[in-house]
Amino acid sequence: MPRPLTMKVRIGYGLGVRTSRTVAALIPYSMSEVPEVVVAGLAKRRPDLTDPAALVPIGFDALVSQVGSFVDVGFSKFVIVPLDEPTSTNGWRSHLAEAATALLPLQT
């Protein structure tokens, strides 16, 4: 879970950016499992974590929950990044439609 917001934002694997009006986060997510190369990078960056993969939401329900956690500490803008990209145009259309269904209700 995100730590309390400070002037220097460091939230797990998420890349935080703070401006005078906005706090934004880059949130990687997966639909199946976190790739080993990502787990290794997280473990190196955050050796204090017992399960680095826990920083990467798996599925849209977990992504919605993660976004909510960031909102709770002051974030207001998000860029979500799929770690396992669809392999076809139709796959992208379907994935983006599911993402919109899950995430657009959070918009204020």
Strands of 77-82's sheet, edge to edge?
Answer: 15-18, 23-29, 77-82
Give the pLDDT band of residue 85 (cuts 50, 70, 90). confident
* Residue 40: inside a domain: yes
Asked if 23 contacts 72 with a C-beta cutoff of 8 angstroms, the reply is no
Range of the domain at 40: 15-106
Phi and psi (nearest 5°) for 92? Answer: -65, -45
* Residue 5: inside a domain: no
* Residue 8: inside a domain: no
Does position 105 have pLDDT exceeding 50, yes or no? yes
Does position 2 have pLDDT exceeding 50, yes or no? no
* Residue 89: inside a domain: yes
Give the pLDDT band of residue 18 (cuts 50, 70, 90). low
Could you give the number of structural domains in the chain?
1
* Residue 7: inside a domain: no
pLDDT of residue 91: 95
* pTM score, whole prediction: 0.75
* Residue 85: inside a domain: yes
